[in-house]
Amino acid sequence: MKILAIESSCDETAAAVVEDGRIVHSNVVASQIETHKIYGGVVPEIASRCHIESISGVVNQALCEANVSVSDIDAFAVTYAPGLIGALLVGVNFAKGLSFAAGKPLIPVHHIRSHIASNYISCPTLEPPFLTLVVSGGHTQIVMVKDYTDFEIIAKTHDDAAGETFDKTARAMGIPYPGGVHLDEIAQKGDPLAYELPHPHIEGSPLDFSFSGLKTAVINKLHNAAQKGEEYSREDLAASVRFTVVDILQKSLFECANQLGVKKIALAGGVSANRLLRKVLIDKCKELGYELYLPEKKYCGDNAAMVGSQAYFEYLNGNLADDTLNAYATMPINTII
């Protein structure tokens, strides 16, 4: 079954043709990074306009690269939530139009479910159940994937997401947008133990995360250094932030895995490209005897191949939409619309 998938939840306009959930025939991503860079972050209104400008060309390119036409497509899939509402609406309406014109089904896909599905493409033998650490710009959760369309949130952040923590601390250090990507690069040259940073915990929810205190601690360090006219090492501070965030994530992940007795662990979301996070998980899974599944770098950030993958399993489960499909800024992963 060939699915044409569309993703426009944030600052990437993407389209892909994916067969049977695992075979990627094309994967086109038009990034808006250069447009948003001067503002230091994504400007929602500008993102929506950029999606409108690019979506038609991106979808055409995805069909072209897959060597198919609209009539060869069996169903159309689209990210409908969560994300920037104006951005999501561009993809949702475009997919509705295609589905209506071609007379083929429309499959609504949850953004976090699709991030998890990136592992089905990169690791063809992976099947649920498994435990996933989802780390993106807007989400940080540990999710038990009981089945392809059955999810349980085991742990979550109470404030900032991991990617947001990287982006905001990077911004405070004068590192350009997208902060997490550059911070990862700069951290390679620093000493991770140079600065001691807090490991905040949530009273009564030991597996959950809280990153806002860590972010504030970094900003305070920078303010204090500026006030006293002291130099600080950007490399060392970046390395210390990266080390602390990764340490917090991995401790909770392995504690969850231990408590649940699961042996398969996957990583998903934009932050899964982080070099230290990947290395720590590889090393620790080897040491503790867990099977680890990592998305290839090209499927870590927002893309439509992962949407096409998850869409196949949603289709098999009968999760279809019609022309009343709406976009939602927030939506729990276990909701069925």
106 with 96: CB under 8 angstroms? yes
Tokens encoding 303? 């893309």
Minimum CB–partner distance for residue 9 and ligand KG4 (Å): 6
- Nearer to Zn ion among residue 12 and residue 314 (C-beta): 12
Of the ranges 94-102, 178-186, 217-225, 254-262, which one interacts with ligand KG4 (CB under 6 A)?
178-186
Question: Can you tell me the distance from the alpha carbon of 337 to that of 314, in angstroms, rounded to the nearest whole number?
Answer: 11
Provide the mask over 117-156, with x wherever binding to Zn ion is found by CB under 5 A and - wherever it is not: -------------------x--------------------
- Piece of 123-131, 276-284, 286-294, 300-308 that binds Zn ion (CB under 5 A): 300-308
163 is an interface residue for ligand KG4 by CB under 6 A: yes
- Beta strands, E only, 201-275: 264-268
Detail the DSSP E strand segments found in the chain. Answer: 2-7, 12-19, 23-31, 75-81, 106-110, 130-135, 140-147, 150-156, 264-268, 291-293
Q: Which is nearer to ligand KG4, 75 or 306 (CB)?
A: 306
Q: Choose the contact partner of 91 out of ligand KG4, Zn ion, none; CB within 5 to 8 A by kind.
A: none
Tokens, residue 291: 């099977």
Q: Which does 167 bind (CB under 5 to 8 A by kind): ligand KG4, Zn ion, none?
A: ligand KG4
User: Which of 302, 311, 315, 327 is the binder for Zn ion (CB under 5 A)?
Assistant: 302
* Among 166, 170, 144, CA closest to 268: 144
Q: Does 180 bind ligand KG4 (CB under 6 A)?
A: yes
Burial (CB < 10 A; 0-12, 13-18, 19+), residue 46, is: middle
CB 289 within 8 A of CB 258: no
Interface with ligand KG4 by CB under 6 A: which range of 134-142, 151-159, 255-263, 305-313? 134-142
* Interface ranges with ligand KG4 (CB under 6 A): 10, 115, 136-138, 163-164, 166-167, 178-181, 184, 269-271, 273-274, 301-302
